[in-house]
Structure 1
């Protein structure tokens, strides 16, 4: 596997002496979409926050084989999108997407339209975000995250607040959007079917440990233990 992209080396996160993430080692090549799955409390979000720089950790987190542990969060080039999207209700759709461009020093209105078209919201720029459906709001949040041109995009349960039928449709759209954008991505979800649609590979966390990596077909055919088999059933 190429060394370009993200490398985790024995990454460990502890809270009050208890390991939430336990010595995770993983390589994600540039441009890959990788899903982290596992039961609640398995450490998925803690690992994502450690990569973003929001949780202290031991071990090493590297990008293109250079450690980022001493690099401030805002200079890592990593963007974390939370479950609720955290849109600005006082700004319209274009204003929300344009905010990230402004912060990164770019003020190209055409770029806003390009990003909205990428997420399937062409012509939505003047709409108030409070008037959008949950799925549309998540698309705006994704466009705003992509506007920052991240080296690494971290998505924490991006579809969890949306009803099941819409989630299934948006999972396919999210796969296309991320691959069209070409951005290296880690998606956290508890839904293995959703992970299979969105991601190129899947990693399973159990009690903070990364126990198996592969496609959903591979994981189901050769589960590493009974717990993985039950989780994927």
Structure 2
């Protein structure tokens, strides 16, 4: 309880927010790292997932890539990549976090295209649309809610994991936690908790904002279908 009280005091000190290297500086670094990592993950995962979903092939490959990527510890990547040409700092952090963002982006892109209405596909083919036109004009618009869901999951995971960037001089809110650990536990415990609260609060904020975005881009009929599917899955888990 003493450390929690110290964390509240630390967070209420304006100097801890405005000083160089304070919360505002670290928050900016954290958001930039997270945004670049998710953007890089999108550039890699979305084209691949959409194309594999369009062709109807590679479902097992998507599952394999997702499982293998999730099995790689992010901290291990953050430790190994700085030893390559990327060096210590932000480039290595962005690449490592992007690898962590790929599985939900890839899986949801693939699923979104495969879940497109077959009748809409057949109608588009009957109108003479080519494979690329079918993907761009029919399958891609119908998969937008799934892309949004994958983006939401990836963004929240990356924001939470970016705290590890401080281990390789990458910056971010993790620097506050690391600096707290560098002090005696009696003196730095409050700062460690304060840094953890900041990371958790940012992740929850991103989750909330992107949940609203996902809802906005999901058509109402599809919302009902997905809610029903979620309830069936929850009932199955409860019954099991």
What TM-score range do you get, normalising by the shorter chain?
A: under 0.3
**Structure with more of its chain in strand, by fraction:** 1
- Structure with the greater alpha carbon radius of gyration: 2
TM-score (norm 2): 0.22
**Structure with more of its chain in helix, by fraction:** 2
TM-score (norm 1): 0.23
